[in-house]
Amino acid sequence: MRLSQAHRGLLGLPLLLPLLLSTKLINSLQTQHPLILQPRPDSALAASDYLTNNSSSFYPLLPPAIPLAVKSPYLSAWLATGQEGGNGGYLAGRWAQFWPIQFPQNPFAYRLGWAGLIQVNGETYEFMGRPNEDFIGNRHRRATQRGFRYTSSRSIFEFEAAGIRFLVTFLSPIAPEGDLLRQSLPFSYLTVELIEDTLKHTDRISVYTDIQADWASGDHSVNATWSIDHFNHSVAYKLGRKDQLKFAEQYEYAEWGQVIYATKKVSGLTTASGVASQLRSHFVSHGKLNGDQDEEYRKISDQTAGLGYSLPLTRNNKSVVFVIGHVRDPYVQSIEKANRHHPEGKLCEKWGYWRSVFNQTDEAIAFSLKDYPAAVRYADFIDKKIEDDARKLGGDDYVAIASLSARQALGAMELTIGKDEDGNYNPNDVAAFLKEISSNGDMSTVDVIFPQFPALAYLDPQLLKLLLEPLFKYSQSGLYPNRWTVHDLGRYPNATGHNDGRDEPMPVEEAGNILMMALAYYQLTNDDEWLVKHYVILKQWAGFLVDDGLIPAEQLSTDDFAGTLANQTNLALKAIVGIGAMAEIAHKSGYKEEGESFRNIAEQYVDHWIGFSLSESRNHTKLAYQLHDSWGTLYNLFGDRLLNLKLIPERIYRIQDDFYPSVANQFGVPLDSRHTWAKTDWQMFAAGAAVTIQTRDLFMNKLVDFLKANKVNAGFPEGHFSILALDRLNKANGVTKFPFHNRHRHPSRATTSIPPVYRSELWAKLCIPWLVAMVFHQLFLA
């Protein structure tokens, strides 16, 4: 992965903390409505810690960006709140934005026109977006936001207008474990619901909402087209670019496919399409729309079109549900195994998994609208489960962290299905692909899947398997020439591979990552057939780590923004844990002698690693073996603990636990001694590796402080389920607590030697970079 700025939040990538930013104090008022939860009396997030801005409370805190509709790389709508141009968390008065928000900037600021108005007894109030900016005749009235709350699957706003209170809820469903159909559906929900005890019998209330044509493309100079379809007691607007460009992007937007905005047909529902500002003005004047449908298709920026709905709400009909989504056919293309007709491999198209059930888009839309009650029931369940589990394992701070990152843990990936030679959907060709968002758009990047995988391990291990499957398939195709694991599969949505072997070079990083993830999947599922299927390539990657992992050559780690470095302590640790994971994989695959050999090598490497990595004071590990005054966050300890490998002695964990407070800054522990930045995912990996509550809380508390500081407009990334995953894997492995035991020493250990390459090259690899640096210093700097 590639990062060029040190403080952007990334979906599919980690968020970097600028640790020297000034502090803020966040205060908040409480709300009395039950859906906007009260803080607990003993909560670490006390009422005085919430943000107060005019009249709204924010629970459990105000995030830098609020997820609205987050279901795929191309359905990713957010409300920016932070100090880089956000409006403090108010749904009214700011347009939603497509994910990148300000990274990088496009000419239209990634604006997504998504408007909401409510009319109460003839007076119209803005509650979503900025429809008032066009002087629509409502005297710029705006509903008062009384409260905001987020859960794992929902963002809930409470408003008041003319004495009426109502809720606006954005739900991006997290499907039940194993439910690939629902997880694959590319739709989110918007619900507007009146709070009954604020209604009077004489109230006349209507709701209006629309989306604008700027959802159709990242290039607003192109023409858009739209239509309205009626089917199965439903109505849907469909919006897209006129000249479709399959498998192409502009400013991260998909340039093929359609945006969907739909609702159920109910009494009083009216629709219209046309110039967006004119639709809104008509609603202000009449309380409904006139049914006219604009067919003058034009440039997105030319009198921007709106696609609108309005309907009355009453005591007997207090709510309305809308579905918003993005559909494409096909989703991605992926390189397949070479044959005599295609010696360089063949690109095969993959469709959204839901297509195997719903041949027509309208069927999927109607199902999603009908399925809303089920989506809410499961949202209630998963929201409570994550909240309860996180509170048990890490307190209220961890609830705030885990709940905020759940939607985006799934929102950067898509479930796909291929077709057989007869054109039928092939149930044996189901896979998931991940987009690396906010950097260069790499596809299925291994070191981006790695911080995501604890969330998948906790929510649904099958998703982890499906995400790894394309990487195995490509690696086993014979098309990739290197011994180590491929870094990525291409640029989304084109998994063209790297047949020349010139992918971003992170050989130790990616080999260690995939071995750990493969073992984690097995430990959660006991799927030994899957392990055996991939055993040969897993063994190849482990063999590479045996040869090149203990003393890594100068190379990149996942933290590639920091540049290359030789002999990285944390990277070598990842290699050792990867070799240890291979030992378990071999045992579970029936290769016990190979398993013992890998285990013995890993244990011996640990002893050498400790000698190389500890500082002279013996109170912390160094960033690199040769950098004696350095230190780093040793987040790869988490792999040893997560997989219950028991390779690393407890004293190393305790040394690091004791050391971190001495180098902690305002918002966390820096990544290493070279800079003051940190990454939120690795902060939580370090918290997961902590053996003391104090160190665990140090990482979590400072991460919450950073979120409360609201310095950026970045969405929170997904890599924060480390402790939840640790709990689930420990249970799977029969570990009821988190104690450490003495490492298991195999009888054959005494006869196992370090590979010959290290006997001859060990000190050369360690000393040459240091000698070069000293010569450079004497010649040029002395």
The domain containing residue 135 runs over which residues?
26-327+365-376
Is residue 613 pLDDT above 90, yes or no?
A: yes
Residue 124 lies in a domain: yes
Q: Which two tokens stand for residue 422?
A: 């007869």
Phi and psi for 752 in degrees, rounded to 5?
-95, 125
pLDDT tens profile 225-237: 999 999 999 999 9
Q: Which of 438, 446, 430, 540 is nearest to 490 (CA)?
A: 446
Predicted local confidence at residue 439, as pLDDT = 84
**Which of 264, 272, 242, 265 is closest to 255 using CA atoms?**
242
Phi, psi of 641 (to 5 degrees): -75, -40
C-beta of residue 12 within 8 angstroms of C-beta of residue 714: no
What pLDDT, on the 0 to 100 scale, is given for residue 471? 98
13 pLDDT tier (thresholds 50, 70, 90): very low
Q: Is residue 92 domain-resident? A: yes
Alpha-carbon distance of 118 to 162, in angstroms, equals 10
**Given the structure tokens 């008032």, which residue do they identify?**
132
Confirm if 314 and 205 have CB atoms less than 8 A apart.
yes
Q: Show the tokens assigned to 555.
A: 């190379």
Q: Which residue has the higher pLDDT, 719 or 261?
A: 261
pLDDT at 759: 36
Query: Residue 588: pLDDT above 90?
Result: yes
Axis crossing angle, helix 507-525 with helix 569-588, rounded to the nearest 10:
40
Q: Is the pLDDT of residue 716 over 90?
A: no
Q: What percent of the chain shows pLDDT beyond 90? A: 79
Indicate the range of 51-55, 245-249, 607-611 predicted with least confidence.
Answer: 51-55
pLDDT tens-digit profile of 56-95? 999 999 999 999 999 999 999 999 998 777 889 999 999 9
Which helix (H) or strand (E) segment holds residue 495: the answer is strand 494-495
Residue with tokens 């694959």: 184
Cα torsion angle, 555, 559, 563, 565, sign = negative
pLDDT at residue 87 in the model: 87
Q: What are phi and psi of 258, to 5 degrees?
A: -135, 145
Q: What are the beta bridge partners of residue 352?
A: 416
Q: Which pLDDT value is given to residue 107?
A: 77
Cis ω on the peptide bond leading into residue 60 (within 30° of 0)? Answer: yes
Residue type at 309 in one-letter notation: Y
Q: Which of 98, 161, 116, 140 is nearest to 279 (CA)?
A: 116
Alpha helices in 476-562 (DSSP H): 507-525, 528-533, 535-548
Does 53 have pLDDT greater than 50?
no
pLDDT of residue 736: 66
**pLDDT score of 762 more than 90:** no
Strands 494-495 and 332-336: parallel
Q: Please tell me the predicted confidence (pLDDT) of residue 744.
A: 42
Displacement of CA 120 from its chain's centroid (Å): 39
pLDDT band at 735 (very low <50, low <70, confident <90, very high): confident
**What single DSSP character describes residue 760?**
H
The phi-psi region of residue 89 (left if phi > 0; otherwise alpha if psi is between -120 and 50; otherwise beta) is left
Q: What angle do CA 618, 619, 624 make, to 5 degrees?
A: 75
Helix (H) or strand (E) holding 404: helix 372-411
Give the residue-averaged pLDDT of 190-194. 98
pLDDT of residue 756: 38
Among residues 240, 188, 190, the alpha carbon closest in space to that of 219 is found at: 240
Assess whether pLDDT exceeds 50 at residue 51: no
Mean predicted confidence (pLDDT) in 349-372: 98
Contact 475, 745 (CB under 8 A): no
Q: Residues 203-221: pLDDT tens digits? A: 899 999 999 999 999 999 9
Tell me: pLDDT of 775 over 60.
no
Q: How confident is the model at residue 102 (pLDDT cuts 50, 70, 90)?
A: low
- The larger pLDDT score, comparing residue 29 to residue 747, is at 747
Phi (first) and psi of residue 573, to 5 degrees: -60, -40
Task: Decide if 427 is inside a domain.
Answer: no
The full length of the chain comes to: 782
| 115, 329, 357, 364 from 360: Cα distances, Å | 28, 11, 9, 7
For residue 76, CA distances in Å to 68, 72, 97, 408, 582 come to 8, 6, 8, 9, 37
SS (H, E, C) 612-667: HHECCCCCCECCECCCCCCCECCCCHHHHHHCCCCCCCHHHHHHHHHHHHHHCECC
Q: Is the pLDDT assigned to residue 649 strictly greater than 80?
A: yes
**Pair of tokens at residue 678:** 């940190």
| Cα–Cα distance for residue pair 243/236, rounded to 1 Å | 21
Instruction: Give just the sign of the alpha carbon dihedral 598, 603, 607, 612.
Output: positive
- Nearest CA among 131, 132, 125, 158 for reference residue 34: 158
- 329 HSE (CA, 13 A, CB side): 9
Q: Which tens digits make up the pLDDT trace of 650-702?
A: 999 999 999 999 999 999 999 999 999 989 999 999 999 999 999 999 999 99
Give the span between the Cα atoms of 538 and 327, in whole angstroms: 36
- Tokens matching residue 311: 């309907």
What gap in Å lies between CA 14 and CA 370, rounded to an integer? Answer: 36
Helices (H), 275-337: 276-286
**What is the average pLDDT across 254-269?**
98
Q: Give the angle subtended at the CA of 224 by the CAs of 10 and 288, to the nearest 5°.
A: 95
Q: In what helix (H) or strand (E) does residue 684 lie, and over which residues does it extend?
A: helix 680-689
Task: Quote the pLDDT of residue 21.
Answer: 26
* Averaged pLDDT for residues 462-488: 97
For residue 373, the 8-state DSSP code is H
Confidence of residue 16 (pLDDT cuts 50, 70, 90): very low
Does pLDDT of 738 surpass 90? Answer: no
- C-alpha distances (whole Å) from 403 to each of 80, 383, 408 are 18, 8, 10
3-state helix, strand, coil in the chain (%, to 5): 35, 25, 40
Is the model's pLDDT at 144 over the cut of 60? yes
CA–CA distance, 273 with 238 (Å, rounded to integer):
11
Q: CATH number of the domain at 313, please.
A: 2.70.98
- Distance CA(86)–CA(65), nearest Å, equals 8
Is residue 686, in this structure, part of any structural domain at all? no
Q: What percent of the chain has pLDDT over 70?
A: 86
Q: How confident is the model at residue 170 (pLDDT cuts 50, 70, 90)?
A: very high
Q: pLDDT averaged over the chain? A: 88
Q: How far apart are CA 455 and CA 464, in angstroms?
A: 9
pLDDT confidence of 337, banded at 50, 70, 90?
confident
- Whether 614 maps to a domain, the answer reads no
Give 650: exposed, middle or buried? Use CB within 10 Å, 0-12, 13-18, 19+: middle
CB atoms < 10 A from the CB of 316, how many?
A: 5
CB atoms within 10 A of CB 35: 15
Classify residue 303 by its DSSP letter. S
CA within 13 Å, CB half, 144: 13
Closest CA to 709 of 14, 83, 56, 80: 83
Whole-angstrom distance, CA of residue 738 vs CA of residue 755: 33
Burial call 609-635: b when 16+ CB within 10 Å, e when fewer: beebbbbeeeebbbbbbbbeebbbbbb
Domain assignment present for residue 590? The answer is: no
Q: How confident is the model at residue 421 (pLDDT cuts 50, 70, 90)?
A: very high
Residue 523: count of CB within 10 angstroms of its CB: 22
Split at pLDDT 50, 70, 90, the class of 755 is: very low
- Residue 18, pLDDT > 50, answer no
In a domain, 581, yes or no: no
pLDDT at 393 over 70: yes
DSSP secondary structure of 86-113 = --SS-SBTS-EEETTTTSS--TTTTEE-
Least confident of 20-24, 285-289, 321-325, 404-408: 20-24
pLDDT at 103: 61
Provide the 10 A C-beta neighbour count for residue 771.
11
pLDDT at 10 over 90: no
- C-beta separation of 643 from 732 below 8 A: no
Confidence (pLDDT) at 55: 80
- The total number of structural domains in the chain stands at 1
Whether the CB-CB separation of 350 and 417 falls below 8 Å is answered with yes
CA-CA distance, 714 to 8, in Å (whole number)? 6
| pLDDT band at residue 27 under the 50/70/90 scheme | very low
Question: Is the pLDDT higher at 741 or at 511?
Answer: 511
- How many Å apart are CA 415 and CA 688, to the nearest integer? 29
Q: What number is the average pLDDT over the span 106-132?
A: 94
Token pair of 723 as six digits: 């402790």
* pLDDT interval class at 1 (50, 70, 90): low
Structure tokens at 622: 């160094």
**pLDDT tier, 341 (very low <50, low <70, confident <90, very high otherwise):** confident
The angle subtended at Cα 766 by Cα 760 and Cα 769, nearest 5°, is 125
Asked if the model's pLDDT at residue 532 lies above 50, the reply is yes
